Structure 1
Amino acid sequence: MKVGYGDCNGTFGELVQGIYEKKPFLLTLPITELKTKAVFIPQFNENKIIGHELFTKAIVACQKLLTMFNLPSGGYLRMYSSIPRGKGMASSSADIVAGMRAVADSYSLLISEEMMSKIASEIEPTDGVMYENVVAYDYLGGTLIEKLGKLPPYHLIGLDLGGTVDTVLYNQQQIQYTSQQLQDLKNAYDLVKVGIKHQHLPSIISAATISARINEQFLPKPLFNEIDYLSSLCQGGIVTAHSGTILGILYEPKEVDGTSLQHFYQKLETFTVRNQLTPRFYSNTSSKLKNLTTPVV
């Protein structure tokens, strides 16, 4: 037994979310720049895990994990997170997974993604952040549907449109999709699979945009049409947090078919300044965003 360490990435909403084959699902969009880190310090003289009230869900998950292994549950859990809360970026799920990984590290436990998924789903509807790369995940049942693989190179500019959403409350409502929307969601799911298999980002962009537009019927975002238009300037598309407050522009890291990224960045700057928004840049490439004077942090 020792001081244990764990971490977990957040997400930028979901590539696609809805119903597929009568089962709720989401396709994850993991973001390595968004991270929760956890430190677990075991204590023999404590009979419970002590931590900040902000991370109550993670504390409960860690206690459940120790009970599962019939181990003493005393200790201190310290959490450090760069993931905004209440925005649809998997902050709670990342807290839960990072905490369990720290406890497992402390006790040298071998825990599976399935085990973490089961515990997390007992606490709240959860994202599939315990799995690497993009996965299809039943966020209500807490089960993996299938692993899809790594995303091709991308750039993503994220915009927080304000406010917060209680994911637990939001997911208690029954969303009624039309038959056409269900077919479109199936097509979007298949497009992501094809896009990952062939490392073809435009297929994934199309899928995310389909899902984002459907989601506007249930949780509309301010400025959606304007951001949708901006995405067309870089031949990109829209990514949304289906139960959150963020929208993103997903696009290729290079100019395609004569598209001027400089023109896009200029229009984006004008838009964000006018609407008092701060764009945030994410990418799975080593390239840096250039020619954009609006702060991207």
Structure 2
Amino acid sequence: MKLGKGSCNGTFGELVQGIIAERPFLITLPIPSLQSEATFVPEPAVSGIRVVDSKMKAKKAGESLLQLFGIRGGGYLEIHSNIPAGKGLASSSADIVAALRAIADSYSLPLTNEIISMIAAKVEPTDGVMYEEAVAYDYIHGQLIESFGALPSFILVGIDLGGAVNTIEFNQVPKAYSREDQEQFILAYNLVKKGFNEKNFSYIGRAATISARVNQKILPKHIFPQLDKLAHRFQGGMVVAHSGTVAGILLDGNLPDGDEVVSHLFREMSLAIKGVPINLFHYESKEKIII
């Protein structure tokens, strides 16, 4: 046993989320600068896991992990995160994954993404953030559907519309997707695959826009018309948190004069959406981010 450490990134909403053939799925949009970091101090003589800051979901997941491997002891779990809760940024999923990794590191457990998924899905619908690459993921049952690999370079200008969404309560409400909606999900899924296969971010942006439009019937964003117009004007795509409060515009990260384009888009969004706080995410590569 030793001091265990684990971490996990968050997301900015989802590229696509819906159902195909009655199976719920999402396609992740990992954001490496959003991080949950956990440390675990093992205490063999103590039963259960102690936490602070109401990290009860991570506590529940951690205790399930110890039970799975027949470990009777417990310990102290501490989590530090820069991911706001209730926004659609995968804050609680990232906490759970980071906690499981820290506990596994402490007890040298053979933790896999499949085990993480199994445990996380029993706590709440989970966002697939145990996978660092972009993946298609069944967020209700905690199952990997397909991995797409690293995202091509992109630019994201995102906003938070305020408030919060309870993911557990939101996913308990049936979603009334029409046959046409499900056809749109299939189209979006195939566009994402095409975008990754051809390293062409325009297809991925188009897929995100399709999914965002369908989601307007489920969890509408009041600034959708303004974002839709700006995305079209700047030849980008829309991305939303399908069960959260954030939304934004995606652009190809390899645009000529990309910094100038981002500055111009930022100004246009500020004018179009007055009174809404704007966060700027500018990816120059999958390794480097400026906020």
Separation in structure 2 between the aligned mates of residue 288 and residue 117 of structure 1, nearest angstrom: 27
Residue 52 to residue 205, structure 1, CA distance change in 2 (3 Å): same
- Give the structure 2 partner of residue 264 of structure 1: 265
Cα–Cα, structure 1 residues 96 and 287, in superposed 2: closer, same or farther, change >3 Å?
A: closer
Number of residue pairs aligned between Structure 1 and Structure 2: 289
Q: Write the distance in 1 (CA, Å) between the matches of 2:44 and 2:110.
A: 22
2:56 paired residue number: 56
Would you say the 8 A contact 1:50–1:75 is kept in 2?
yes
Alpha-carbon deviation of 1:270?
2.5
| Aligned-pair CA distance for 1:275 | 2.2
Preserved CA contact (<8 Å) 1:58 1:99: yes
Q: Is it true that 1:240 corresponds to 2:240 in the alignment?
A: yes
TM-score by length of 2: 0.94
Map of 1:191 onto structure 2:
191
Q: Aligned with 1:222: secondary structure?
A: coil
Q: CA deviation at 1:53?
A: 4.4
State how far apart, in whole Å, the 2-side matches of 1:185 and 1:93 are.
24
Q: Is the 8 A contact 1:67 1:73 kept in 2?
A: no
Within 5 Å, give how 1:174-189 maps onto structure 2: 174-189=174-189
Q: Which runs of 4+ in 1 moved over 2 A?
A: 253-258, 262-266, 268-272, 286-289
Q: Distance in 2 between matches of 1:82 and 1:39?
A: 15
With over 3 angstroms needed to count, the CA separation of the structure-2 counterparts of 1:83 and 1:282, relative to structure 1, is farther
1:27 aligned counterpart, secondary structure: strand
Change (3 A) 1:287 1:114: closer
TM-score w.r.t. the length of structure 1 is 0.92
RMSD: 2.0
- 1:292 aligns with none
Deviation string for 1:116-140 (max 9, x for gaps)? 0000001111111111201111111
Q: Distance in 1 between matches of 2:187 and 2:39?
A: 42
Q: CA deviation at 1:266?
A: 2.8
SS of the residue corresponding to residue 97 of structure 2 reads: helix
AA in 2 matched with 1:13: G
Corresponding residue for residue 293 of structure 1: none
Return the offset for 1:107. Answer: 0.7
Residue 166 of structure 1 pairs with residue 166 of structure 2: yes
Letter in 2 for 1:77: L
2:219 matched to which residue of 1?
A: 219
- Asked whether the equivalents of residues 164 and 244 of structure 1 are also in contact (C-alpha less than 8 Å), the reply is yes
Is the 1:48–1:75 contact (alpha carbons within 8 Å) kept by the matching residues of 2? Answer: yes
Q: Determine if contact 2:13/2:242 at 8 Å carries over to the other structure.
A: yes
Give the 3 Å change call, closer, same or farther, for CA 2–160 of structure 1 in structure 2.
same
User: How many Å separate the matches in 2 of 1:150 and 1:222?
Assistant: 31
Q: Which residue of 1 aligns with 2:99?
A: 99
Residue 150 of structure 1 is matched in structure 2 by 150
Q: Does structure 1 residue 45 correspond to structure 2 residue 45?
A: yes
Q: Does 1:111 align with 2:108?
A: no
Using a 3 Å threshold, how does the CA distance of structure 1 residues 265 and 245 change in structure 2: closer, same or farther? closer
- Listed one character per residue, the Cα deviations across residues 156-181 of structure 1 (whole Å, up to 9, x for unaligned) are 11100011000100001111211111
Larger mean Cα displacement after TM superposition, 201-210 or 229-238 = 229-238
What is the deviation of 1:17?
0.5
* Matched residue, 2:4: 4
Unaligned runs of 5+ in 1: 290-296
Q: Rate the CA distance shift 1:70–1:178 in 2: closer, same or farther, 3 A.
A: same
Q: CA deviation at 1:253?
A: 2.4
Contact 2:30 2:129 in 1 (8 A): yes
